[in-house]
Chain A
Amino acid sequence: MEKFRKPLALFSTILAFSMLASACGKSNSNEPQSSALSTPSAESSAPASASAPASNADPVTLKFWTWHPSADLYKSVIEKFEASHPGIKVDLTVMESKDFQTKMPLALSTGEDLDVVGVQTGAMPKQIQADLLPLEDLISQTRPDWQSVISENSISQARSQADGLKFLPMASIGSMVMFYNKDILDGLGLPAPKTYEQWKAVSDKLRETKSDKLSVAVGGKDAWIMDEVAWTIAGQQSDLYNQWRYNGKKLDGPEYTQAAAGFLKVFADGIINKNDVMDMDYTSSRNAFTSGQAAFFIQGTWEANLLLDSFRKGNQVNINDVGLLPIPSVEPNGTPSIRSFIDLGLGIPAKSKHPKEAMQLIDYLIFGEGNDLLASTFAFSTNKIGFVPDASLLTTPTAQESYKTLSDLLNHPSADRNNNSPFSDVAGQLLQKMLISKVTPEETAKAIQKEFDTGKYPNE
């Protein structure tokens, strides 16, 4: 008991104090501590110099939230920006993607002091557009010729996502592609698979040789990844995704059923071992690949920096050579492809006190040098016309060829990767169900359509 004297004394003092407060606070009975409450500890409030141009006056700190690429990759880019834009500082927060999907819209609607926010295309722009500034005028002032810097297609896609131009796209990304560990394929004496049979040969040989390596690493625990894989397989046949997303085509017809059956076949043929992947999430599947435990890794094009030797060395990824291919067509008559769309949008919250400075950062990251720097990390494919990555980064023939494959895939997508992410999680769950139970592809397609019809998932 003795040794608790001090804390006790403290407690009782505080108690006594709070009682006093509650006694005195009788008259303003609504919220006794209300004065103490309103000091947000998170506030890093920049001096409110309104929209005065940033010159040698007080520096403006831009609060910038996004989810991609990583803080490490942004670091040097932002340092350069700050050096060339004296008077502007950038306070960057990078979140995990799912986290960002929840928290950024929340922060916008609570009036958090943000100046630049990443915008995920798909479901998000419609949800947050009322909190974003229209950018048309701002960008025209900063860079009058902006429309000729990035591709026309990317601009029209950005305009279609919200009422008016509410964000500008840093890049286009696509999914799902397949990264391969060339070391493992070489060890097996097999080529990088262009056809379904060649793909199957890899997993068969791994099994025969009782190898401890995994054939395909993919995040089977994350439902959205399963959904994206199924859509990629659907894309080998048609642009069903666009028809569903924009024209109200149903998913319980033969097209999606075929995609679901193809998806199931990849597992049934043992190419993807469901035992191995159904409890792997994004991170653990990526880890299985980067630690050299898997021959293939299925994920989006945003992981393309795995192609770079410099990136692998810097991140302790001990694979000599990594390549990229589309997922081979399950049906012989299909075309291997991906869905792609603009992504990594940047917008300015309507409540930002420094829209002009914010636009300078956006300009730098989308039209200026910053975009080139980031694009050279291969964490996305830029929309800038005529951008050529530093060829010296692609150190192996595999890497060079893979980069070409990547560009082709992104330039000729089967459909838009304009995701309806809430529904993606649900559809993915039904696909998982097909894998672990006796539900047929037909029933799965029906169940997915039925779930969609409940109206719980807006599809604007």
Chain B
Amino acid sequence: MNIGLVTRRQKRIISVFLYAFALMWLFPFYTAIRNSLKVNGIRNYVDLFTSDLNGISLLGTFRNSTLIAIGSTIILLAVGSLAAFAFSKLRFFAKETLYVSVLLCLAVPGVVIMIPFYYILKNLDLYNTLWSVIFSEAVLTLPFAVLMLRNYYDNLPPELMESASIDGASKLQMFNRIYLPLSTPALINLGVLSVMWSFQDFLLPLMFLTDKSVLTATVAVNTLKGLFGFSPADLGKFNAALVVLGMPAVVIFLFARKYITNGITSGAVKE
């Protein structure tokens, strides 16, 4: 949108303001990094990865976070795309009612549904397994997935459907061969978004994972803090762990910003 509407002087003034604003911005980053070097300096980072934290290995928690992110994303994409395709291109009884009901669930707050989820997971024998968080996250993200993917399928021309049905393809083949490949951009957006959301999640893993072998990174770092015998040396490690927790975000930004942006904005109000 750069159309030379702004004079040089205006640009300069704006720059000054913006950079001042950015300086404020940098302050939390500065706080985190500075504290992470307290007490034992860079050794905090080394200790973090080489020794256990109260019997928990940080790398192990990152592995758990990754498994959960992948698991919930796969379920989300599979279940979401099937349903979205049906809502968009197929006709069946009470379709719109169902669709609206699914969208309504966009509003379900995590804390509210926590107790019933706990009860359900307990009875499915999934409590304290990575599956508990995988399913909970997938279920809570599905309404957004259906909304986003249906929007996408709605924009694909219906002619595709007609030409395929002349070929005698079944609905499943149609989806598989035509619509699914066409929707890969949307699936990538959604997938990246879902991985990011999963990494950000705190409440569900906090509630459903108790065993130290299944803890996720964010929760492990948080619970570290209140442990008995938390020494000055541990404080350094804790702060270093905070910085490490921020790293995936930087990676996502560098390599997948576009997909996140596209994914999020595809749920926007449009006219």
Contact = CB atoms under 8 A, between A and B. Distances in A.
Question: Quick check: do A and B touch in the complex, using CB within 8 A?
Answer: yes
A384 interface: no
Given A37-B124, A316-B233, A23 B214 contact: no
A39 B134 CA distance: 13
A42 B214 contact: yes
Contacts of A109: 122
Nearest to B210: A103
A287 B128 contact: no
A94 B232 contact: no
Interface string A21-44: 011000000000000011111101
Nearest to B39: A316
Given A12-B180, A42-B211, A287-B235, A95 B230 contact: no
Interface stretch (A62-70, A149-157, A356-364): A62-70
B216 to A, nearest CB: 13
A11 B223 contact: no
A112 B231 contact: no
B128 A12 contact: no
B127 interface: yes
Contacts of B148: none
A316 B40 CA distance: 10
A96 B227 contact: yes
A42 B187 CA distance: 31
A42 B129 CA distance: 6
B60 to A, nearest CB: 12
B37 interface: no
B265 interface: no
Interface string B189-207: 0010000000000000000
Nearest to B206: A99
A38 B125 contact: yes
A315 interface: yes
B226 interface: yes
Interface in B161-175: 172, 175
Contacts of A317: 231-232
B231 A37 contact: no
Contacts of B223: 95-96, 99
Interface in A270-290: 281-283, 286-287, 290
Interface stretch (B14-22, B74-82, B95-103, B151-159): B74-82
Interface residues of B, number: 44
A92 interface: yes
Given A37-B124, A94-B54, A15 B81 contact: yes
A40 B126 contact: yes
A287 B225 CA distance: 11
Contacts of A12: 180-181, 184
A4 B55 contact: no
B78 A37 contact: no
Given A14-B78, A15-B78, A71-B54, A107 B210 contact: yes
A11 B191 contact: yes
Interface in A337-354: none
A83 interface: no
A210 interface: no
Interface of A: 4, 7-8, 11-12, 14-16, 18-19, 22-23, 37-42, 44, 67-73, 92-99, 103-104, 106-107, 109-110, 112, 281-283, 286-287, 290-291, 302, 305, 315-317, 379
Given A12-B184, A112-B128, 8 more contacts: A8-B187, A19-B176, A39-B129, A40-B125, A70-B229, A93-B212, A302-B228, A379-B229
17 contacts: A14-B77, A37-B125, A38-B124, A38-B125, A42-B129, A71-B54, A71-B55, A99-B223, A104-B210, A109-B122, A112-B210, A282-B226, A302-B228, A305-B229, A315-B231, A316-B233, A317-B231
